[in-house]
A and B are shown apart, each in its own frame.
Chain A
Amino acid sequence: MNDIIKVSHLTYKYLQNELPALDDVSFSIPSGAWVAIVGHNGSGKSTLAHSLDGLIDFKQGQVFIDGVELTEANVWKVRSKIGMIFQNPDNQFVGATVEDDVAFGLENMAVPHDEIQARVDSALAQVQMSEFRHKQPDQLSGGQKQRVALAGVIAMQPKIIILDEATSMLDPIGRQEILGVIKRLRRKLGITVLSITHEMDETTSADEIIVLNDGKIIESGKPSLIYAHSDLLLKLGLDVPYSQRLKEALKLRHIQTPQAYSDEKGMVDWLWQSLLKA
Chain B
Amino acid sequence: MAITFKSVSYTYQPNTPFEFHALNEISTKIEDGSFTALIGHTGSGKSTFLQHLNALLKPTSGTVLIEDATITHETSNKNLKPLRKKVGIVFQFPEKQLFADTVKKDIAFGPENFGSTPEEAGKLAKKMIELVGLPVSLLDRSPFELSGGQMRRVAIAGVLAMQPNVLVLDEPTAGLDPSGRQEIMHLFTSLQQSQHFTIVLVTHQMEDVANYANHVIVMEHGKIVKEGRPREVFADVEWLHDKQLDVPASTEFAFEMVKRGFHFDKLPLTEQELADDIAAMFKRRRRSNE
Contacts and interface: CB of A to CB of B under 8 A. Distances in A.
A112 interface: no
Nearest to A15: B145
B262 A41 contact: no
A214 to B, nearest CB: 12
Interface stretch (A28-36, A103-111, A180-188, A268-276): A268-276
A137 to B, nearest CB: 13
Interface in B13-59: 13, 18, 39-43, 46-47
B207 to A, nearest CB: 9
B92 A253 contact: no
Contact of B42 (A143, A200, A242): A143
Contact of B262 (A88, A172, A252, A271): A271
B204 A169 contact: yes
Contacts of B253: 242, 246, 264, 267-268
A276 B261 contact: yes
B264 interface: no
Contacts of A220: none
Interface in B124-171: 141, 145-150, 152-153, 170-171
Nearest to B259: A268
B274 interface: yes
B121 interface: no
A115 interface: no
B2 interface: no
B41 A171 contact: yes
B254 to A, nearest CB: 10
Kindly state the interface size class of chain A when it binds its partner. 35 or more
Kindly state the interface size class of chain B when it binds its partner. 35 or more
Given A144-B43, A169-B92, A174-B42, A268 B260 contact: yes
A250 B95 CA distance: 41
Nearest to A140: B43
A239 B171 CA distance: 19
B43 A141 contact: yes
A253 B276 contact: yes
B279 interface: yes
Interface in A233-263: 234, 237-239, 242, 245-246, 249-250, 252-255
A165 B179 contact: no
B93 A90 contact: yes
A198 B285 contact: no
A46 interface: yes
Interface stretch (B66-74, B192-200, B243-251): B243-251
Nearest to A241: B249
Interface in B255-285: 256-257, 260-262, 271-272, 274-276, 278-279, 281-282, 285
Give the one of B47, B145, B147, B262 with max A CB within 10 A: B147
A16 B141 CA distance: 8
A252 B148 contact: no
A87 interface: yes
B290 interface: no
A62 interface: no
Contacts of A253: 275-276, 278-279
B216 to A, nearest CB: 14
B174 interface: yes
Nearest to B151: A88
Given A88-B148, A272-B260, A237 B180 contact: yes
Contact of B271 (A45, A142, A173, A249): A249
A265 B149 CA distance: 32
B115 interface: no
A117 interface: no
Give the one of B149, B181, B206 with max A CB within 10 A: B149
Interface in B172-199: 174-181
A46 B252 CA distance: 32
B246 A40 contact: no
Given A171-B204, A246-B253, A252 B180 contact: no
* 9 nearest CB pairs, A to B: A41-B149, A143-B42, A239-B178, A237-B179, A249-B275, A253-B279, A172-B246, A42-B147, A87-B148
29 contacts: A16-B145, A41-B150, A42-B146, A42-B150, A87-B175, A139-B12, A139-B18, A142-B47, A142-B170, A147-B42, A169-B171, A170-B42, A171-B40, A172-B246, A237-B180, A239-B178, A242-B253, A246-B275, A249-B274, A249-B275, A253-B275, A253-B278, A255-B278, A267-B253, A268-B260, A271-B278, A272-B260, A275-B285, A276-B262
Interface of B: 12-13, 18, 39-43, 46-47, 92-93, 95, 141, 145-150, 152-153, 170-171, 174-181, 204, 206, 244-246, 249-250, 252-253, 256-257, 260-262, 271-272, 274-276, 278-279, 281-282, 285
